[in-house]
Amino acid sequence: MKAYLGEVLISRDEIKKKVKELAAMISKDYEGKDPIFIGVLKGAIIFMADLLRSIPYSVFVDFMAVSSYGDATETSGIVKIDKDLDTDIKGRHVLIVEDIIDSGLTLKYLLGLLSSRNPASLKVCALLNKPARRKVDVPVAYLGFDIPPEFVVGYGLDFAGMYRNLPDIHILRFEEQ
Ligand code: IMP
Ligand code: MG
């Protein structure tokens, strides 16, 4: 199957507006709580960078790297920790920043792992959500957009490592050969 870049699903302007709205809610909720924002590598890098720059006070930043996909477009259900946190989150207010929730398996695993470390609170902020593809229920406190069950790329999201740098979110199309 050959993949090619399809139409823009969410434009850079729509993303910008949404990131500002999410940041406003998050800033208000976490003010005075000395939160830790945890970006999930690599997909969340662009969203995380934009979100952080819209928070008007200092927040602590850390990253985790997880993999479950390989180069396919379906989750394997098996989540591997490629990079753990550098920070002890015990007693801290933790916000996980994710690019997209598809089956929910990655997030479910992360929530289980991080809650076992006894944070004061643990919430999720995700830019995109594909409700039609959910396999396990996961709580998302801050959500950007619900999208149809299509594979999307751009604004941090990749296909086999490609397209992360595109400023808009596109649908990826597949050509049968
Ligand atoms: P889940 O475990 O099935 O919820 O998958 C979550 C992870 O799969 C996300 O953090 C992404 O890295 C990746 N993923 C899911 N859907 C897409 C997509 O449409 N485009 C790019 N990556 C995706
Ligand atoms: Mg991800």
Length of the chain: 177
pLDDT at 48: 98
Residues 153/146, Cβ–Cβ less than 8 Å: no
State pLDDT tens for residues 136-150: 999 999 999 999 999
Give distance in angstroms: CA of 99 to centre of ligand 2: 5
Q: For atom 12 of ligand 1, which residue has the closest CA?
A: 43
In this predicted structure, what is the pLDDT of residue 1?
77
CB count within 10 Å of CB 41 equals: 17
Ligand 1 site, CB within 6 A: 43, 68-69, 75, 98-107, 151-153, 157
Could you tell me which CATH class the domain 12-148 is placed in?
A: alpha beta
* Contact present, 166 and 158 (Cβ < 8 Å): no
Q: Residues 50, 102, 158, 168: which is the catalytic one?
A: 102
pLDDT given for residue 76 in this prediction: 64
Give residue 67 CA to ligand 1 midpoint distance, Å: 10
Alpha carbon distance 2, 53 (integer Å): 37
Q: What's the confidence (pLDDT) of residue 69?
A: 56
Compute the Cα dihedral for 22, 24, 30, 35 and give only its sign.
positive
For the chain, which residues score pLDDT lower than 50? none
Positive or negative, the CA dihedral 43, 46, 51, 56 is: positive
Atom 11 of ligand 1, nearest CA residue: 100
- Per-residue pLDDT at 176: 77
Beta-strand pair 121-129/93-101? parallel
Q: Catalytic site residue 102? A: yes
In this prediction, residue 68 carries a pLDDT of: 73
